[in-house]
Each structure stands twice: as C-alpha cells, then as structure tokens.
Structure 1
Amino acid sequence: MSGAGPTRPDLLVVGGDVVTMNARREVLLGGTVAVAGERILAVGATGELRARWPGTPEWDASDCVVTPGMVNAHLHQTGDPLARARIPDDLPPGAAVDTWAVPLHAAHRPDDDELSALLAGVESVRNGVTTIIEAGTVAHPHRVAAAMTEVGVRGGIGAWGWDVPGAPFAAPAAEVLDRLGELVAAYPAGGSVEGWVTLVGHGLASDELLTGAADLARDTGSRMTMHLSPSSADPDDYLRRTGRRPVLHLAELGVLGPHLLLAHAVWLDDAEVEALLADRTAVAYCPWAYLRLGQGVTHAGRHAEFSRRGGRLALGTDAGNAADSADLLRTAALAVGLAKDMAIDPTGLGAAEALELATIGGAEAVGMADRIGSLEPGKFADLVVHDATGPQWTPRGDIAQQLVWSSDGRSVRDVLIGGRVVVRDHTCVTVDERALRTFAARASTALLARAGVPLRTCWPTVPAH
C-alpha cells in the first residue's frame, strides 16, 4: 500500500509488525507507517518508504507491534475517577446511585470535572485508547473537553439530560434540548472533540425528550447516546409505563437509527434485537461492568449474536466503580471469552473479532470509520506501538492471539493521536503525571468530604509506624 501526492512525511514509524485492520486485515511484518501532519501518508515496506523519502526522521518500532488506536465507546470521565474504588462492590442493585453517585456528582466543582477527565484521559491513552465517547457529564462538559484536548485524546462529549420530575438534576425537556443543542454547536461533528446528544437514558426521559434528542442529532449531523437495559430494571420499568419493552418503545417513537449508540443493551428479547439490526442502531458493550455489578450478562447478553448478524457493536469500559479499568484489550478478551463460554462453543468469536471490535468495528459503531480505526493512507495518524519484547510475547506467534489473549494495556509503549506524540516510553507526555497524581489525591479527599459519602474498606488499614 502506498500514499499518493507530493506531501512528504514528518515521521516514519519503522520496523514494527503493522496490524493495518484494512479491508484485507493485512499484517505487514517489519513494516513502516509514514505520518504527514495529522494523517497517515503511506503504509508499506520499510525499504520502499525509506527510499521514497530519504532523510525523514524515524521512530524505531522494531520488536514491536503497531496497531490502530483503540475506541472506547462508553467511558464515564467524571463522577468516578476521583472516587475510584470507593463505591463498594457488594451492594444490592441500584444502591450505589442514591448513596454515592448522586452526592458525588452534586459535590463536583468545575475543577473536579476537568481533573477527573484528565485522569480518565491519561489512563486511556496509556492503554492505547485514542478515541473516547463520554458517557455523560452532569455539569461541566466544556471543562471535560478542555481536558481531552490537553491530553490529546479524540472523542465525543455530552451533557447528561433527563426530565423526569423529582429526579436529581432534572430539567424540562425544552431546557435539556437547548443545553444539548448549544454543546453540539460548540463542538461540531468532525472535530477532534465532538458534541454528542447525550441522555442518561434508562427510564429518566419523557417521550418528548427522547424524540427531541433524536431529531436534534439528525438535524445537526451529530451522534446520540444513552444508557439502556444493563439489567432487568429497564424492561420492567418500560413494560409498566408503556406496555412495550425499551427498544421497541424507542422504535415506536422513531428514535432508533444509525445516529444512535445505546450503551449496554444487555437485557433484550428477540424483537428488540431485530429492531436494532433493522434500524442499524449501534451498541456499546461493557462486559466488565456487568460482571462487577452482577447484572446478568451471562444470563441475558446477546452481544455476540448481535455482532455475528451484522450489528454495529463497539466496546466500552464504563465507570471507575463499575468496570474499574480503561484497558480495552482486557475488555476485548473478556467479550469474546464470554461469547465462547455462554454458547459453550469455542468456534465463535475469537481474537480477530475482538481486535475488530476494539478498532475498526468500534470506529464504525461510533460513526468515525472514515477517519480512524485502521492504519490506511488518508486516515488520522492514531496509532499504538506495543512493546513485544516481554515474556508474554515470547516466542512470537499469531499477532491477534497474542494481543488479545497474552497481552494487555501494559504493553503499550508509544501512542500517536493525529500525528501528535501523546505517550512515549509508557508515559503520557502531554500531562505531568506526577503533578496529576498529587492534585488528584488532594481533590479526591476534598470531594469525598463534601459529598459526605460513606467510606469503608474491605480490610482494616493500619499505619505501619
């Protein structure tokens, strides 16, 4: 493969095994990626590209594997990062919301939202995630956008909206839609940070808000996302209120479509799966969250079937007190491992499909496959260099299997996003990580005190002095 035109690259990423994720899923052993500005100019043989552009600065990726940047289609960048590992993992369903989540969000100040998003962004890029779809920020989305820009990560942001009377932070539908419209206008589609029409979802939106949000997304060419059916609570609620299951109610309202990314969609029946497939609605699958929260994915989840039948499926890591990690390679491995075990069939989804979900498949599901998700000329230079010198890579075998089953985000050595160096030698270079840890520790202590949430640990902690 080669680029065209007179442009000269600024950088050659040289000598790595390049996992292109192009239409043929080619892996170029000892290949090179030529980067010009924020785009990929060419992908090909090292000798050929060196000869074409002699004297170009080089980045040594020998003994490494180079992949496209990964896509996290559902990540909470606020609310949880400053309270990580603070919400107990043995609570009954829904107990965390009123006692922890609502007070934490209420106690967040603008600086907390930005600092929280910085933490989430740094963790993401260090795990090879180059695109994040924000799951919803209650109060200060512009500060989240500023943090994403500082880190250098690509993605979408949203300001949560809901209008059910009596719910915390609720507002009339018209007010919510105005706020969402302003955000979409401020961050138009196609930018490095896009505004998304974001509802909290579940049972917290009226029909007026749901249809208005879908219309806003379609009219502005933006995307829409909301939570739905991670557990059986949403189907029970929708059946009681509307007489229809959640996805079928959205279909009746005309909300479904390629503009919509539903987070979770675990508890679906046959008719709901058919409706999502028919309208090309995408799903963000966050398997670690369902296991930690005991939501029944092994009982009800149909994501493998949805993907196998051509559904638009992406992966997400959810919140810092749910999935607890931004490592999308671990998530990819879990997704296909669950698929094999739930079907009692090892011949289904495997490592190849896992990497597709993490890269080009995820990019398609979030509406960005024309820009990201594969290493091809003309696409953004979002690429990850994985150090393949560790024992988990020795001896070298099938690259897809070693990335998914043997490795994880700790192998990520370097990351470029839009041609910009964001991670070098396992460290985020756009943010002072040491200072970030200090600021985050102080902010966390103050936030937890303001929120007044109960704090407990699994075991007694005793000072060593």
Structure 2
Amino acid sequence: MNQHIRERLRTRGPLLLVPDAVLLPEGVMELYAVVVSAGSFEAVGPTEEVERTHPHLQALRLPGQLLMPGFVDSHHHLTQSFGAALAFGEPSEIFRRVWVPLEGALDEESAYVAAKLAALESLRGGFTTVTDAGTRAAVDTDVVACAARDAGIRCVLGLICDDTGTGADTDSAVVMRRAERHLAAYTDDPLIHPSLAISIPDAATPATLHATHRLAAEAKVVVQMHVNEHLAAVERSLLRHGLRPLENLAGVGALGPHLLAAHTTLLTPREVSLLADTGTAVSYNPVASAWKGNAVAPATTFTERGVRFGIGSDGTRGDGFRLVEAAEFAQRLAYGLTTGDSSCGAGWTWLEHATAGGADAVGLGGHTGSIAAGMAADFLLVDIATPELALSWDLPWELVRRGNRDQINAVFVAGRLRMWHGRPTDWDGPALVRRATALARTAVSRAPVSRAHPTSTTARNKAVRESAAGTVAEKWVARTSTARNGSTAQ
C-alpha cells in the first residue's frame, strides 16, 4: 500500500474502508466494508449497503487486503523482554533462576523500556491486545501501563497479589487494599484494563485466593494465575495439600469465569471437567510448552468440552500468525498424530481463539476481538496478494499455516493507525530498540541469573573441542592397534 493510503488511514475522522475481504465470526466475507469512527466500528456490512447509508464518507478502497481482528495475547510478561534468549534451551520453572532475578534488577527506566519493547514486538506481530501477568520489578505497576499506552497497544494489566513466599507482603489486608486501588486507577482508561494476578496457587493464602476471586468478580475483571504448568508445581501441591493445583483452587472456591488460568498443560480428565463446569478461562501457550514445558495443553479437548480459552505467547515471540500456527501444530504432534485427527480443529478454531476467544478469556469479550458494529476498532490490514496467500482456496487455513507478520501492512488499535509495515506511526521504534539494547546489558550483568546450560555458541565450541579430542584419541588407538597387529604378524 502506498503513502497516500497511509495518510488517509491516519485520518482521525470517520473512515469507510473497503478491503477485498473482511474476516467476520462467520468466516471470510467478500464485498464487505466497515466504518471506523471514534475508536469503534460504527458499521459493518455489504459494501453497497454501507456506502448507501454513509453517503457523506469517501470510500477508501484497499485492494489485495484482508481486514481482520487484531490478535489477543492472553498471557505475557512485558518486563521480561530483556532476557528472552536467557531462557532458550533451559528446563522448566526458569522463573526462579532467570525471570525473578532479571526483573529484580530493573529500575523504573529499564522496566518502562522493557515493557515498551515487548509492546513494540507484539504490535509488529499483529497483537492489538496483550495480557500482562504482573511485574516483579520493584516499580509501580503504572510504569508498565505508561509503556503500553505510549506504544499504543491495549493491555490487560495484572497486579501481583501474592501474600506468601519470598518477597511477598504477608499482610493480606494491605495486599487487598492495593488491589482495590489498582482496579480503580484505570476505570476510564481507553487502553489499560486492570486485572489481578497471583503467581501460582501456593503463592497466596486461601483467604487471599478467595478475596481476589470475589473482588475480580465484582469488578468484572480477571485474576491471572499460572496453574498446572510444570511437574514440579503439581508435585509440590500434592505434597502440601494432597491435591493438584487446579483441584486445590476448586477446594477454596477460586475457580470461575473470572479466573484466567495460564498454561494448564498437565490436566486429568476430572480437571478438564472442573474447567468446563465452572466457566474458568485458560491461556493456551503452545510455544512456551515447546520451549520449557512438560506437556501441551489439550486445546482440542477444550474446544470439544466448551472450555473458554485464548492463545498466549508467554513472551516467547510476538508474531500472531506464528503463534496460531504453533497452536495447531502442537495439537497435531501431541494428539492428532496418535489418533488420526488430520484436522486438529481446522484453521478457524485457532484464529477464533487467538481473537474473539482470547478477548473473552481475558475479560474483554464485549469490547474487542471481533469485527462488528459497536466493538473497538482493533484490527489488521493483511496483504493477501502474496505468493503464500493469493491462490488460497481456504483462507483461514492459509492464514494459520502460511501467514506471518511480514504480511501485516497496518495495525489499528482503538481506531488509530499504530503500525505501518512494521514501524510505529507516531514514535521512534528504532530509537527504542537502541535504548533497550544498552539498558539490557546493564540489567542482565547485575542480575543473579542462573542457567542450567551454556549459551548455544559456548555449547557448540565445547562440542567441537570434545569432538577434536575424541578424533585424536581414536587416531592414537588406531595407530597403536596397527603397530601391535603388525608386530604380531612378523
């Protein structure tokens, strides 16, 4: 798309957009148009009808473009962006050895820059909403809110309410007063949506688990929590409570529509029933499962049982199309191959749960995630005239299997053009990356990070040295054997 179109898209007034196709809940619709006004979709319908009912607007035609909902990342840690590669190749529960030390080394500036850097990556990848599970950095949570707001991304912002464990405030009353202030602070904010967070079930007393659940239900927000993520966490819960983490939450009355359970990779059939029966929402994080997990959440079973779920990155990489491809691919490897399921939910399942389903899971179902009149105008313009997509006979499947962020021409949040061909439209993205590079070196150098494995380069060099040493030893053994055999023959 050319610069003339870009300038038209930057117009703050109402826009009548006519792309080649629009992705609606019922599927891909051609000859459709939308009107964007005051941050929302004013109208969505057949092009002739929309143009007839809005004669005062000049249609902006967008050939070769698909207008689709922006992706919703249902689980992220925005202030962990400085240390992404520190977690590569590491075993589970890296939060103890990597993330807690790293976030503890952040000051106000580095926390802001780290969060804005994560928001930039997410916007570049087509995410219009990110769900932050709460920072452990010793800064006010509003630092993260400012970073998301300045970047131009919608953010469900968690406040950690732990009252047990290292570094937690053990006064439950103080914790809950802070939670109430957090929920009240963003009542009228157009981009920041407050939520509460508890790291894991054992990080809060039963009273606080129940209180946060009640407070969230009253405020119509979510409580975010890592649940049944790793074998070690399940075993600790069994030893401490005689119950698995999800069972323990059920026992204290903390399950329900206002709980967003992240990961839930290790579930018994009974626990799946608990999720379905209570309306508890889940963040399915397929890339995180592959990189550091013990299992893949049974998302196709969630679909069949009616369990509410979104798809989250867990901060692994901010590319919405690669995330939905991983969501389908992980199900195929973990479940589909052994059962002969060649569809594994089909393309539409993963697009739906990465958009509307994700919005529902994070408490924004009535606000974003769909292209519909009255919904927030959070959307993407995707180039479908590329070699990967132009010849499609099934565009939802093609988007899941062959889409990537390079095909995203424009990202809109709340009706405003935020990204154009991978770059912010009203702030300096490259300058932020340069600043983040400098701050990250300082933060990582002073953080007491403990890794189980060396970096990939160090590991390779070690392997080369060991291989060379082995070759020398083998040659020595061969020469000795030859000499011995020769002397015997004489």
- Report the TM-score when normalising by structure 2: 0.85
User: Aligned pair 1:20/2:24, yes or no?
Assistant: yes
Give matches, 1:323-402, under 5 Å.
324-341=316-333, 342-343=335-336, 344=339, 345-402=341-398
| Larger mean Cα displacement after TM superposition, 416-425 or 190-199 | 190-199
Distance in 2 between residues matched to 1:60 and 1:427, nearest whole Å: 22
Count of residues in correspondence between the two structures? 441
Deviation at 1:55, TM superposition (A): 5.4
**Paired residue type of 1:18:** V
Distance in 1 between residues matched to 2:84 and 2:134, nearest whole Å: 17
Overall identity of the aligned pairs, in %:
29
**Residue in structure 2 matching 1:11, options 10, 15, 27:** 15
**Residue in structure 2 matching 1:124, options 122, 125, 130:** 122
Asked if the contact 2:78–2:114 (Cα under 8 Å) also holds between the matched residues in 1, the reply is: yes
Deviation at 1:14, TM superposition (A): 1.7
* Residue in structure 2 matched with residue 114 of structure 1 by the alignment: 112
Structure with max Cα Rg? 2
Asked if the contact 1:9–1:41 (Cα under 8 Å) also holds between the matched residues in 2, the reply is: no
| Larger mean Cα displacement after TM superposition, 210-219 or 353-362 | 210-219
* Residue in structure 2 matched with residue 3 of structure 1 by the alignment: none
| Larger mean Cα displacement after TM superposition, 55-64 or 286-295 | 55-64
| Larger mean Cα displacement after TM superposition, 370-379 or 281-290 | 370-379
* Residue in structure 1 matched with residue 95 of structure 2 by the alignment: 97
Asked if the contact 1:10–1:56 (Cα under 8 Å) also holds between the matched residues in 2, the reply is: yes
* Residue in structure 1 matched with residue 410 of structure 2 by the alignment: 414
Deviation at 1:377, TM superposition (A): 0.9
Deviation at 1:190, TM superposition (A): 8.0
After superposition, the Cα gap between the structure-2 partners of 1:350 and 1:63, relative to the gap in structure 1 and judged at 3 Å, is same
Deviations 1:177-234 (A, max 9, x none): 2222211111238853111011111532221221121122123332211111111222
Deviation at 1:373, TM superposition (A): 1.4
Distance in 2 between residues matched to 1:215 and 1:186, nearest whole Å: 18
* Residue in structure 2 matched with residue 250 of structure 1 by the alignment: 249
SS of the residue 2:63 aligns to: coil
Asked if the contact 2:237–2:243 (Cα under 8 Å) also holds between the matched residues in 1, the reply is: yes
* Residue in structure 2 matched with residue 82 of structure 1 by the alignment: 82
Distance in 2 between residues matched to 1:16 and 1:150, nearest whole Å: 32
* Residue in structure 2 matched with residue 73 of structure 1 by the alignment: 74
User: Aligned pair 1:314/2:315, yes or no?
Assistant: no
After superposition, the Cα gap between the structure-2 partners of 1:412 and 1:212, relative to the gap in structure 1 and judged at 3 Å, is same
Give matches, 1:101-180, under 5 Å.
101-138=99-136, 139=138, 140-165=140-165, 167-180=166-179
Distance in 2 between residues matched to 1:424 and 1:105, nearest whole Å: 31
Deviation at 1:397, TM superposition (A): 2.4
* Residue in structure 2 matched with residue 4 of structure 1 by the alignment: none
SS of the residue 2:238 aligns to: helix
Asked if the contact 2:220–2:363 (Cα under 8 Å) also holds between the matched residues in 1, the reply is: no
Which consecutive unaligned segments of at least 5 residues does structure 2 have? 1-11, 462-490
SS of the residue 1:90 aligns to: coil
**Paired residue type of 1:278:** D
Distance in 2 between residues matched to 1:234 and 1:454, nearest whole Å: 19
Deviations 1:93-149 (A, max 9, x none): 33x334322221111111122111111111111211111111111243101111111
Asked if the contact 1:135–1:318 (Cα under 8 Å) also holds between the matched residues in 2, the reply is: no
Give matches, 1:156-305, under 5 Å.
156-165=156-165, 167-188=166-187, 191-297=190-296, 301-305=297-301
Distance in 1 between residues matched to 2:133 and 2:191, nearest whole Å: 17
Distance in 2 between residues matched to 1:156 and 1:294, nearest whole Å: 24
Deviation at 1:253, TM superposition (A): 0.8
Asked if the contact 1:126–1:426 (Cα under 8 Å) also holds between the matched residues in 2, the reply is: yes
Deviations 1:153-182 (A, max 9, x none): 1121112232224x1445433332222221
Distance in 1 between residues matched to 2:235 and 2:309, nearest whole Å: 24
Asked if the contact 1:158–1:180 (Cα under 8 Å) also holds between the matched residues in 2, the reply is: no
Provide the alpha-carbon RMSD of the alignment. 2.2
| Larger mean Cα displacement after TM superposition, 239-248 or 50-59 | 50-59
Which consecutive unaligned segments of at least 5 residues does structure 1 have? 1-7
